[in-house]
């Protein structure tokens, strides 16, 4: 039903676009010079919509149309890295809001003095994973540290994970005996929102050591279901990575990704610049980027990789 609804919405969008084009052609046929400015604006809008839909059509991966799980982890660097992790969280929440996506924070570990240590966010919307998969990797920030009384420049790192939300994948089988399930009290800001029972759930997959947790839902059962969903997504990502590494080794191209290999740098001092090191695409308006203006970076990377892979 979910797939059917998605296809119906996509078809309705194309039909609406076809109707707009038909209406514009009828206005052109009238030959009224007073309508030229309005027509020009409508043609530009139609062209922009067609380009967007053409790009969406290129996202043909198995999970590209679906929802995504976004995990953000502060790197070494104490308060600076944890503050940077919170900035990255805000950046992606703003991006999702601009695209009309729904977001839900499943798990969040606050920093000791500022920012956050890690968070996992569920993002719902058409092509959420297809777009966000370009964002996985290390994000580097260079700025004057607000936590340094000497006003020195600091470099901070954050790791971003992007996983497809797996509804029902028969290739991912989990043996209940392989799981260690721990419960604990959900973190809260205080007051009535603090849970007095151990509703939060942490699941450890013993064979791989992969851990997933959820503390957002009110009941332990709901948190357990969501943590299991996150675990399945992580196991799927591990499986895909192992398959890719086998292929790359056969090709003689395999290189292990290390923590320092950042995909993008955000420089706030001594100048302002955000640069993607994979595509060389850059923007000088760092404030706009940190407020969620990420589409130019995402589309630049996806066009490059989709072009290499033949779409």
In the chain, domain spans: 2-58, 68-166+261-308, 176-251
Q: Tell me, what's the pLDDT at 189?
A: 45
Q: Tell me, what's the pLDDT at 260?
A: 57
Whole-angstrom distance, CA of residue 234 vs CA of residue 212 = 8
pLDDT digits (tens, 9 = 90+) for 126-170: 899 999 999 999 999 999 999 988 889 999 999 999 999 876 666
DSSP 8-state secondary structure symbol assigned to residue 310:
T
Q: Tell me, what's the pLDDT at 259?
A: 52
Cβ contact 162:136 at 8 Å: yes
Give 68-166+261-308's CATH code, choosing from 3.10.450.30, 1.10.3720.10, 3.50.50.60, 3.30.70.1660: 3.30.70.1660
Low-confidence residues in the chain, pLDDT < 70: 2, 6, 167-171, 187-197, 246-260, 307-311
Sheet holding 179-184, edge to edge: 179-184, 200-205, 210-214
Whole-angstrom distance, CA of residue 283 vs CA of residue 273 = 6
Cβ contact 116:86 at 8 Å: yes
Residue 78: exposure state from Cβ atoms within 10 A (0-12, 13-18, ≥19): middle
pLDDT digits (tens, 9 = 90+) for 242-257: 877 765 665 454 344 3
Whole-angstrom distance, CA of residue 179 vs CA of residue 203 = 7
Full-prediction pTM beyond 0.85? no
Domain 176-251 CATH assignment equals 3.30.160.20: yes
C-alpha separations of 245 from 207, 277, 307 in Å: 19, 22, 21
Whole-angstrom distance, CA of residue 11 vs CA of residue 17 = 10
Reference 141, options 40, 269, 49; nearest CA is 269
Cis peptide before 60 (omega within 30 of 0): no
Q: Tell me, what's the pLDDT at 193?
A: 44
Region label for 278, one of left (φ > 0), alpha (ψ between -120 and 50) or beta (otherwise): alpha
* CATH topology agreement for domains 68-166+261-308 and 176-251: no
Q: Tell me, what's the pLDDT at 166?
A: 76
């Amino acid at each position: 039903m979910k797939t059917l609804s998605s296809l119906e919405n996509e078809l309705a969008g194309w039909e609406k676009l076809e109707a707009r084009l038909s209406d514009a052609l009828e206005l052109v046929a009238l030959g009224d010079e007073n309508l030229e400015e309005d027509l020009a604006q409508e043609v530009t809008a139609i062209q922009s919509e067609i380009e967007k839909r053409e790009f969406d059509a290129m996202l043909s991966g198995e999970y590209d149309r679906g929802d995504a799980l976004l995990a953000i982890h502060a790197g070494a660097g104490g308060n600076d890295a944890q503050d940077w992790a919170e900035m990255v969280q805000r950046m992606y929440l703003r991006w999702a809001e601009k695209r009309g996506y729904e977001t839900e924070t499943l798990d969040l570990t606050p920093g000791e003095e500022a920012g956050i240590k890690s968070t996992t966010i569920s993002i719902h919307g058409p092509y959420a994973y297809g777009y966000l998969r370009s964002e996985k990797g290390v994000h580097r920030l260079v700025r004057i540290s607000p936590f340094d009384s000497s006003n020195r420049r600091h470099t901070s790192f954050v790791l971003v994970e992007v996983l497809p939300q797996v509804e029902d994948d028969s290739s991912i089988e989990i043996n209940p005996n392989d799981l260690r399930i721990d419960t604990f009290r959900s973190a809260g800001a205080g007051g009535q929102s603090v849970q007095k029972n151990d509703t939060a759930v942490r699941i450890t997959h013993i064979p791989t050591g992969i851990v997933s947790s959820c503390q957002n839902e009110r009941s332990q059962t709901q948190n357990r279901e969501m943590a299991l969903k996150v675990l399945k997504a992580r196991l799927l990502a591990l499986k895909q990575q192992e398959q890719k590494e086998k292929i790359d080794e056969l090709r003689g191209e395999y290189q292990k990704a290390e923590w320092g290999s950042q995909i993008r740098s955000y420089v706030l001092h001594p100048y302002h610049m955000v640069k993607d090191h994979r595509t060389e695409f850059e923007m000088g308006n760092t404030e706009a980027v940190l407020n969620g203006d990420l589409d130019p970076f995402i589309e630049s990377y996806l066009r490059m990789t989709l072009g290499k892979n033949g779409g």
